A and B are shown apart, each in its own frame.
Chain A
């Protein structure tokens, strides 16, 4: 029994340690930072894709309003969390700061347009939705550029 208790304690301690260590992200170098930007851009691509799909379906009368609203709102929130997560990483050097400014522009922009899309969709403003969709596909191209360059 005691032997089991010791083993159990050890397992718990190891599990806790690994949880803790996975929360504290280690300091990264510039290559690591580029990876993070690339990852954020990749995520943003999918988020925009999801919102575009829902908005297009809504415009085509394929989805009902609450559903499209939910998918777009989810995308908007996900986009903001992607921006927030990238912002919280400390860029290690000058080059990374330049990259950060560039990435921030593109990602913030996309997040803003997702908000525009959500606002237009909730108001039932079809023209506004089409406009936002157009803006979003421009943003998508930039996000993909960022993903390729990073």
Chain B
């Protein structure tokens, strides 16, 4: 076992870049759902009225889709990508697709395995568009 893996096992730490970012999201039905394009953390500033002092930032959701992906690209292309992603959203909502961390069943060497099937996730718009507008119209698509 490599040293890196050993440390990870011993302290049960994980690096975003090693184990989360750009990993495959897999539904409970075994289907590929998307890629982990970005991460969402809770705000580190203490919530108003919290007695326990400063809260620690916590990983709350995995983000995917163009609105999460564009900022990762950065630069002009990233901005364009985000803009296109925003146009694609029906309600113009600038927030990217979230997969709450509670839905993650386990993180294995295959990718991030989720506890729900692909159909119950929010990031299926391109899938649905490609399917209803093109693929389903061709005979033999198995729809």
Residues of A within 8 A of B (CB): 1
Contacts and interface: CB of A to CB of B under 8 A. Distances in A.
B74 to A, nearest CB: 7
Secondary structure type dominating chain B contacts: helix
3 contacts: A1-B74, A1-B75, A1-B76
A68 to B, nearest CB: 41
Contacts of B76: 1
Interface of B: 74-76
Contacts of B74: 1
A8 to B, nearest CB: 12
A42 B70 CA distance: 56
A1 B76 CA distance: 9
Nearest to B76: A1
A1 B74 CA distance: 8
A61 B76 CA distance: 65
A41 B74 CA distance: 57
B41 to A, nearest CB: 25
A1 B75 CA distance: 6
A1 B73 CA distance: 10
A4 to B, nearest CB: 8
A107 to B, nearest CB: 53
Contacts of B75: 1
A1 to B, nearest CB: 4
A59 B34 CA distance: 62
A1 B77 CA distance: 10
The 3 tightest CB contacts between A and B, nearest first, are: A1-B75, A1-B74, A1-B76
Nearest to B75: A1
B130 to A, nearest CB: 31
Contacts of A1: 74-76
Nearest to B73: A1
A19 B74 CA distance: 32
B79 to A, nearest CB: 11
A17 to B, nearest CB: 25
A58 to B, nearest CB: 44
A18 B76 CA distance: 28
B107 to A, nearest CB: 31
B62 to A, nearest CB: 26
A22 to B, nearest CB: 31
A135 B74 CA distance: 69
